[in-house]
Each structure stands twice: as structure tokens, then as C-alpha cells.
Amino acid sequence: MNVAFWQDRRVFVTGATGLLGGWLTKRLYESGASLVCLVHSREPTGRMEQGTSVRGGVEDLDLLQRILGQYEIDTVFHVAAQAIVGSATRDPVPTFETNVRGTWNVLEACRRSPKVRAVVVASSDKAYGDHEVLPYTEDMPLQARQPYEVSKSCADLIAQAYAHSYDLPVAITRCGNFYGGGDMNWNRVVPGTIRSVVCGERPVIRSDGHFVRDYFYIEDAAAAYMLLAERLACNPELKGQAFNFSNENRTSVLDLVNLILRKMDSDLLPVVQNQPSKEIRSQYLSAGLARRILGWAPMFTLEEGLERTIAWYRQALRQ
């Protein structure tokens, strides 16, 4: 990452109080960027510590246009999303409103703004859907079926459409399952397992434990987003391109939980509920394109990321 690139650069981040948004804004702020952050009206005021915060949602196109114009935004990170798979399945409309309509609103506002030089849109490995051959590579079709997955496929394709139809300088990230300090959704396996151990309770695995995923440490994710924005601003040929980011260490849920237990010196045994699930059993990514084209590499192994995450939660849960 080129710190000089970000000095006083005018940056707009949607979803700034989420897990990824929080770490991304922290890293941008420390790099000297001039930040404007979109904060949902339901978020508490104390969550946003860096830069200027503006209350509202990505569903409000007029607000997005005013922000980009008023603050003369140069670089946009669109990471706002309804990211809970179960919530999307139970109630798909709000997920489509935020993840699909929100994405075209952000891109339309960027299209109308002459100052914007780079836009990074968050897609997901879930956008690929179910494939017989893995790992996912960027040339595979997006064939999602479930509501959350479909919302990410749609956002991904809309970003490609704006790049190719309107020459908008937008690139797309496809990452695995984020983990790291600050994720308070205890239904997710990493924070849920850590909190259970801290509380002296057996961690719960809702599936049979054999679902395989990419687990991507959040500080690596924030750095990857910034690197992509840098490369995009300097190389217009990257517009419309999607990049997978992964440490390429596929792991089953059961193996991940057992690794956390070992890291925490716990002799607790997980409760495997073996509940039926409509989720895809195996999803993992090749990051070869990002390595070759962007010169990207992760900073942390899975074990190093988990150690930093466990330390964060032990500190936070003591308070």
C-alpha cells in the first residue's frame, strides 16, 4: 500500500460502521485520507470516530449525489450491505433493497460525479453460487440461487454494467467469510465460538461441521480494498474487473472451531447440532489473479489472524 497516495485524498465509505467498514475507515484515516462516512440512521452516534459522518442510507440517491458533490469525493468504497444470510432468507426484500438498489444508487451517483476516479464495490464469493469445480476463479459464471447470494450476484453484475456501459472506473472484490475483532454477530462461527469459550460454554455448530469455507482476516481485507483502489486509479484498464481475495486456506467449520479452542487453551467440546441448511457445502477462492495483476499477498495466516481476533475479544469481553 502506498501511504502517500492516500494523503488528503477525499474518500467516501458506505457501510462505515460495519465490520469491514470499521477496519477500512481506520486504515484510511491512519493513512491520511480525508474521510466521509455514510452511517445508517439506526447506528449509534458513538460508533464513527474517524472523518465526517453523514446519516442516511444507500437507498437515497439524492443524498449520495449531494455527498459526492459537496465533498468533492475522489474515491468510493461501497461496502454497505445486509450481510446476514439467515436474515436474507427469512425476509429477502430489505436485503434486495440494500444490496441491489443500494449498489445501483451508489454507482449512478458516481456516474454523475465528474470528480470520482475510483470505485470499489464489495461482492462476495457467494455470488458464484454452487460449482462442481473449485476453487472459484474470476472467469466462472455467477449462478447464485438463494436470496443473499443472488443479491451479491446482482450487485456484481450491476457494477460490471456501469464499467462497460458508462466507462465508470469501478472494480469488484469477491472475498470469503470475514472474521476479526468488532464483529458482534454472535451467530457467526468465529465470534460466537470465542465468546462461548470466554463464558465457559460449549461452542455451538449449527451444521454438521463439514461445510468448507474461506475465512479471510479483516485487516487483510481492508488492505486489499485499498490496494485495489490505488491500482484502479492508476490503471483504467482494470475497470469492470473482479478480483478474488483469499489466503487460499480452505477450512471446515469443525476444523476452524477446534483451532480456536486450541488457540484459547480450552478443553470444551463443540455441540454439533447437524441442522439442515440450504447453504452451499463448499466455497473457496483462488486469489491468483490478484497476486499476478495487483501484486497482492495476505499479511496474516489463518492462525495469526485468529490469534489477533481472540486477543481483541478477550479484551472487549472483559469490559
pLDDT of residue 86: 83
Q: How confident is the model at residue 87 (pLDDT cuts 50, 70, 90)?
A: confident
Q: Kindly list the domain boundaries of the chain, sorted by start residue.
A: 3-182+215-248+282-299
Cα separation, 231 vs 219, in Å, equals 19
**Would you call the peptide bond into 135 cis, given omega within 30 degrees of 0 as the criterion?**
yes
User: Could you count the other beta carbons within 10 Å of the beta carbon of residue 295?
Assistant: 9
Checking if the pLDDT of 303 tops 80, the result is yes
What amino acid positions are annotated as catalytic residues? 148
Give the SS3 label for residue 69: helix
Q: Which amino acid is at 239?
A: K
Cα separation, 199 vs 86, in Å, equals 25
Cα separation, 12 vs 52, in Å, equals 10
Q: How confident is the model at residue 319 (pLDDT cuts 50, 70, 90)?
A: low
Checking if the pLDDT of 81 tops 60, the result is yes
Residues 6 or more apart whose CB falls under 8 angstroms from that of 289 comprise: 137, 138, 243, 244
| Range of lowest pLDDT (3-7, 22-26, 304-308) | 3-7
Distances (CA, A) of 216 to 66, 110, 150, 176: 34, 28, 21, 6
Using one digit for the tens of pLDDT, what is the confidence trace for 249-276? 999 999 999 999 999 999 999 999 998 7
Using one digit for the tens of pLDDT, what is the confidence trace for 7-44? 999 999 999 999 999 999 999 999 999 999 999 866 55
Cβ-in-10-Å burial (0-12, 13-18, 19+) of 282 comes to: middle
pLDDT of residue 47: 45
Cα separation, 248 vs 259, in Å, equals 17
Tell me the mean pLDDT in the region 40-65.
Answer: 79
Q: What is the mean pLDDT of the chain?
A: 94
Task: Classify domain 3-182+215-248+282-299 at the CATH superfamily level.
Answer: NAD(P)-binding Rossmann-like Domain (3.40.50.720)
Q: Which amino acid is at 264?
A: M
| Range of lowest pLDDT (27-41, 59-73, 156-170) | 27-41
34-39 vs 52-55, strand pairing mode: parallel
Q: How confident is the model at residue 277 (pLDDT cuts 50, 70, 90)?
A: confident
Cα separation, 140 vs 310, in Å, equals 35
Using one digit for the tens of pLDDT, what is the confidence trace for 91-114? 999 999 999 999 999 999 999 999
Give the SS3 label for residue 54: strand
| Range of lowest pLDDT (3-7, 29-33, 137-141, 230-234) | 3-7
